[in-house]
Structure 1
């Protein structure tokens, strides 16, 4: 397919595209850019042409290349279905490696809005989600906890977690509201050994499934008018620790990260926190 054919087919493709106006505009811009390059260089839309196209624009950021490649992949699939191409020239393109997205946490007041809609009779749900939020546990770690993993000795409340790779760690329970909720919950259980959080369907205990817990959390979040995944509770806890000045080494240990690079993803602090830290440093310099 040459530049002229691409120009003629682009609007047909976009007309068939069931996407938002913003996405259609982005696809049109990407295809027009390729069309101009093909016309300028005399190349055609095939495997060699696309490799040369991306090589000529090697300074593009990975996210930019990934977006343009997605546009071309969808156009070529569309063209193949209409026999405008005899093979997909995008199949041999190597996908750029994108950096992991920065974890996005919610503010405490937003999380509390979700907790506020959980009915009082759903004490198990409220405690499970509060535990994840106040400790940064992975949801799988929380669902795998046993009663005997808790130590609620006054003044030294903590829990033992079996994390990824079978690595154990101790997590301090430093939130009084969470500790009190745990004590109340334990008094309602009819057992002293076994999974801390059990399903109660048909009156039979058993492990809670991640999918059902996720669905319940999403339901509460919708009631509160917020979009928040269960994993964002962990992100929110980590963000609070960073903004509170807790060292990355301590956060790494608390969250159970094997590598500090994972913890570094949380290192983006708020402007207010950064300003306060610089002011403290400046005052210490003047006080010398």
Structure 2
């Protein structure tokens, strides 16, 4: 894992503050992936602000967000979140008097539906379930696996939701089968 000073010049006015912020995130059990992403995002952001942290305004934030405008909305949202989290932390630790992010609009990410599995992938899974080595002691396991997978496919349910079902949850009346 790279330190902030490896990505951000040690003499940069924000380097120490970004390092302290990331240490606090780590101490708060933030995800390793979040810390790594924020480290890179804040190092990239720092190229837009060469003054002390107390001088941070919305102008360098806007410049940074303009630089990343061509990226995917979800990536831009994460980069904005890194700066917003850092600024909120700086205000809380009295290193910044006013949060410049209060002047920056949020980034909207279009909602998208999950992609369904292809018919070929579904057939591959069914084929694997049905062609496992036939043994008496696994016949019920195969049937269980097929029922679980088919319920996931037909209902569009999550695996955990299907695994949490009980037999009593199924209404199996002819032409009115439902969960």
Same fold (TM over 0.5): yes
Match of 2:99 in 1: 88
In 2, distance between residues paired with 1:67 and 1:7? 20
Where does 1:218-237 land on structure 2 (aligned, <5 Å)? none
Query: What stretches of structure 2 of length at least 5 have no aligned partner?
Result: 1-10, 123-148, 154-158
How far did residue 6 of structure 1 move? Answer: 1.5
For 2:175 and 2:162, locate their aligned partners in 1 and report how far apart those are by CA, in whole Å. Answer: 13
In structure 2, the residue corresponding to 1:5 is in which secondary structure? coil
Q: Is the 8 A contact 1:115 1:126 kept in 2?
A: no
Task: Pick the aligned partner of 2:46 from 17, 35, 42.
Answer: 35
Q: Can you list the C-alpha shifts for 1:110-134, whole angstroms capped at 9, x where unaligned?
A: 62776576443x1xx223xxxxxxx
In 1, distance between residues paired with 2:24 and 2:104?
25
Of residues 59, 82, 85, the one that matches 1:71 is 82
* TM-score normalised by L of structure 1: 0.38
Does residue 55 of structure 1 match 2:96?
no
- Change in 2 beyond 3 A, CA 1:126/1:72: same
Q: 1:100 aligns with which of 100, 111, 133?
A: 111
Structure with the larger RCO, 1 or 2 (CA within 8 Å, 6+ apart):
1
Distance in 1 (alpha carbons) for counterparts of 2:164 and 2:84:
44
The TM-score, its normalising length taken from structure 2, stands at 0.58
Query: What is the rounded CA distance, in whole Å, between the counterparts of 2:47 and 2:112 in structure 1?
Result: 32
Q: Tell me which residue corresponds to 1:180.
A: 174
Partner of residue 140, structure 1: none
8 A Cα contact 2:13 2:50, kept in partner: no
* 1:111 alignment counterpart: 152
Do structure 1's residue 24 and structure 2's residue 32 form an aligned pair? Answer: no
Q: For residues 164 and 108 of structure 2, what CA distance do their matches in structure 1 show?
A: 40
User: Match of 1:13?
Assistant: 21
2:170 aligned partner: 126
Q: Structure 2 CA distance, aligned partners of 1:52 and 1:27?
A: 18
Residue 103 of structure 1, CA deviation: 2.3
The answer (yes or no) to whether the contact 2:151–2:162 under 8 Å persists in 1 is no
Give 3-state SS (helix, strand or coil) of 1:37's partner: coil
Task: Evaluate the alpha carbon distance shift between residue 21 and residue 117 of structure 1 in structure 2; reply closer, same or farther with a 3 A threshold.
Answer: closer
Q: How many residues align?
A: 127
In the alignment, the residues of structure 2 paired with residue 64 and residue 117 of structure 1 have an alpha-carbon distance, to the nearest angstrom, of 34
Cα distance in 1 for residues equivalent to 2:166 and 2:80: 47
